[in-house]
Amino acid sequence: MNELVFEVTQEEDGGFCVECLSENIFTQSNTWEALRQNVRESVRAFYFDTPQTPKRIRLHLVRDELLVIP
């Protein structure tokens, strides 16, 4: 496995939640920069006893926006 893909959603309060699409890895943060660090740490923790870890992490930001037509 060379790459893990994470789906990132922005919460109403401005924070972020992230979920890996192929493994049971979840984390959250208040800022984008902190989220990047949390994802790295979560991946390292998930694979702590595995000799091969993913080489890349892809963060896919999903934005849900509701438009009202008057």
Q: Which phi and psi angles does 27 have, rounded to 5°? A: -160, 175
Question: Is 70 within the bounds of a domain?
Answer: no
Is position 56 within any domain? yes
Q: Please indicate, yes or no, if residue 68 is contained in any of the structural domains.
A: no
- Predicted confidence at residue 14, as pLDDT, reads 85
The total of structural domains in the chain comes to 1
Q: What is the pLDDT of residue 13?
A: 84
Q: In a structure prediction context, what are the per-residue pLDDT tens digits for the chain, which is 70 residues long? A: 689 999 999 988 889 999 999 999 999 999 999 999 999 999 999 999 988 889 999 999 987 778 999 9
CATH code of residue 25: 3.30.2390
What pLDDT, on a 0 to 100 scale, did the predictor assign at position 53? Answer: 86
Q: Residue 15: its pLDDT value, please?
A: 92
43: CB partners within 8 A, 6+ apart: 4, 25, 53, 54, 57
Supply the pLDDT for residue 46. 95
Q: Which domain holds residue 39?
A: 3-62
